[in-house]
Amino acid sequence: METEIKSIAAVETFSRRGYVTLQVTVITEDGTSGTHTPTSGISIGAYEAAFLLDGGERWFGRGALKAVRNVNTIIGPRLKGMDVMEQRRIDKAMIELDGTPDKSRLGANAIIGVSLAVLKAAAKSRNLPLYRHIGGVDAVTLPCPIIGLGTAGTYRDPGKTRLYKPSFEYTAYGAESFSDAVYITRIVQNRLEEIIRGRYGFYRGTNILSKVQDDREALEAMTEAIDETGHKGKVGIFVDCAAGCYYEHEKDRYVGLFYKGEKTREDMIELYKDFVSSYPFVVLEDPLHEDDFEGHAILRKELGIEIVGDDLFTTNPDRLKKGIEMKAANAMVLKIPQIGTYSEAMDAVGLAQRNGYGVGPCGSRGDPSADLAVGLNTGQVRGDLNRILEIERELGSSARFLGRRSFKTK
């Protein structure tokens, strides 16, 4: 058959973030190819599928030659002759071939590289854009873009991950279209740059908020920029707290999150209540550590905004099921490398949507987040803005834009 796998090959390369990773290419019998390059994240949940790294001195231990070898000598030969249209059969074969609960033998990076390369090859074989292959004729919802501004707080203890989190972002939920949302966000962002420059002097690179001494100052400046550009009620604040980066288990305290000092769970809940009552918040992501389902349930009940689980759920159907049962959060981040295969990630997406949870594709791990957002009608995205502008032009008048309705409030 023309869509049977002829070859699978991997090479070591660099991700768009500059990390060493692998690139996987799947070629079918008719010459169609699909290529994917997964990448690791900055905030990595303890329950994520395990990337296989080389260790040793080369590339500071983060080389990908072991994962490359597993694709070329184990996964590729096993999948040769299988049909790229049978995504679940292929993913199941890799899961069984690995044989570990976290995909640590072959490496989640190897497995997801193949899984998404297969998905892309299948779309090309059907002569369809990826979003249409994913969602069919119903793939018409353009997402509300969530656009990052950077990390606040010169006080922040760099540690291993703390320098990069929390991340502060805008989302123009009151726009008329995706392209309008991007435009409005840039207008507000430009005013924020002027405010920060006037208040603190130059900022670090593209990190607008890098000079802020206390993260509440960042929220004040972000709110001022919204108001002063006339977009109050149209633009909201999204903060990826990545609270687990600051949670110290031995103390049962959050140390240095948002400003100096130690905070209990109760302190954090009160702080978030203050944030939501004082600033135009739309979303809080991972506001507490990844084992605190109960705390996330309290925040969902108390705050009335979207509470997103990233490290909390890790795109894992089992963890999401627990969250649904406990009413913890009301949305999940979609990052396919967290679970390791496209099929398992879609199980999580289906479970979320059937239970009224939001889904937010994120491109930070190399996922084709733009096509996933449109294909799955998620209504929100962090990812390739140019790709979504292309899709907007392709869809034309058939495109829908949900705006504020894309975000959960209960």
Residue 401 pLDDT grade (very low, low, confident, very high; cuts 50, 70, 90)? very high
Strand-pairing partners, residue 8, are 26
Cα-Cα-Cα-Cα dihedral sign, residues 172, 215, 289, 102:
positive
How many C-beta neighbours within 10 Å does residue 363 have?
20
Q: Are residues 32 and 169 in the same domain?
A: no
Indicate whether 247 pLDDT > 80: yes
What's the half-sphere exposure (Cβ side, CA atoms, 13 Å) at 323? 34
Residue 200 is predicted with a pLDDT of 87
Q: Are residues 163 and 185 in the same domain?
A: yes
Residue 158 is predicted with a pLDDT of 52
User: What is the average pLDDT across 266-277?
Assistant: 98
Q: 3-class SS at 246?
A: coil
d(CA 388, CA 135): 15
User: What is the average pLDDT across 399-410?
Assistant: 94
Q: Are residues 281 and 186 in the same domain?
A: yes
How many C-beta neighbours within 10 Å does residue 58 have?
11
How many distinct structural domains can be found in the chain?
2
Q: Are residues 179 and 314 in the same domain?
A: yes
Q: Are residues 205 and 354 in the same domain?
A: yes
Q: 3-class SS at 214?
A: coil
CA torsion, ordered 283, 288, 291, 292, to nearest 10 deg: -90
d(CA 316, CA 319): 5
Q: Are residues 309 and 329 in the same domain?
A: yes
Per mean pLDDT, which range of 105-119, 161-175, 293-307, 322-336 is the poorest?
Answer: 161-175
Indicate whether 220 pLDDT > 60: yes
Residue 159 pLDDT grade (very low, low, confident, very high; cuts 50, 70, 90)? low
Domain boundary among 71, 103, 127: 127
CA torsion, ordered 327, 328, 329, 335, to nearest 10 deg: -120
Per mean pLDDT, which range of 158-162, 199-203, 266-270, 361-365 is the poorest?
Answer: 158-162
Q: Are residues 255 and 400 in the same domain?
A: yes
Q: Compare 43 and 358 and report the one with higher pLDDT.
A: 358
Residue 369 is predicted with a pLDDT of 96
Could you list the residue range(s) of the whole structural domain that residue 116 is in? Answer: 5-127
Per mean pLDDT, which range of 160-169, 207-216, 306-315 is the poorest?
Answer: 160-169
Mean pLDDT rounded to a whole number for the chain: 94
Whole-prediction pTM value?
0.94
Q: What is the separation, in whole angstroms, between the first and last Cα of the chain? A: 49
**DSSP per-residue letters across 343-402:** HHHHHHHHHHHHTT-EEEEBGGGS--HHHHHHHTT-SEEBS-HHHHHHHHHHHGGG-EE-
CATH classification at residue 323: 3.20.20.120
Q: Are residues 11 and 56 in the same domain?
A: yes
Q: Are residues 97 and 180 in the same domain?
A: no
Q: Using alpha carbons, select from 28, 31, 35 the residue that is nearest to residue 13.
A: 35
What single-letter DSSP state applies at residue 83?
B
User: What is the average pLDDT across 120-137?
Assistant: 97
For residues 223-261, one letter each, b for 16 or more C-beta atoms within 10 angstroms of the residue's C-beta and e for the rest, the string is bebbeebebeebbbbbbbbbbbbbbeeeeebbbbbbbee
With 0-12 / 13-18 / 19 or more C-beta atoms within 10 angstroms meaning exposed / middle / buried, residue 206 is exposed
Domain boundary among 127, 153, 179: 127
Q: Are residues 97 and 29 in the same domain?
A: yes
Residue 28 is predicted with a pLDDT of 97
Q: Are residues 306 and 323 in the same domain?
A: yes
Residue 211 is predicted with a pLDDT of 79
Q: Using alpha carbons, select from 312, 334, 307 the residue that is nearest to residue 322.
A: 312
**Strand duo 144-150 + 253-255: pairing:** unpaired
Cα-Cα-Cα-Cα dihedral sign, residues 367, 234, 188, 388:
positive
Residue 42 is predicted with a pLDDT of 63
d(CA 250, CA 309): 23
Indicate whether 308 pLDDT > 60: yes
Domain boundary among 95, 127, 159: 127
Is residue 286 within 8 Å of 43, Cβ to Cβ? yes
Indicate whether 77 pLDDT > 80: yes
User: What is the average pLDDT across 335-360?
Assistant: 97
* Distance from chain centroid for Cα 222: 22
Per mean pLDDT, which range of 94-103, 241-250, 353-362, 389-398 is the poorest?
Answer: 241-250
CATH classification at residue 75: 3.30.390.10
Residue 322 pLDDT grade (very low, low, confident, very high; cuts 50, 70, 90)? very high
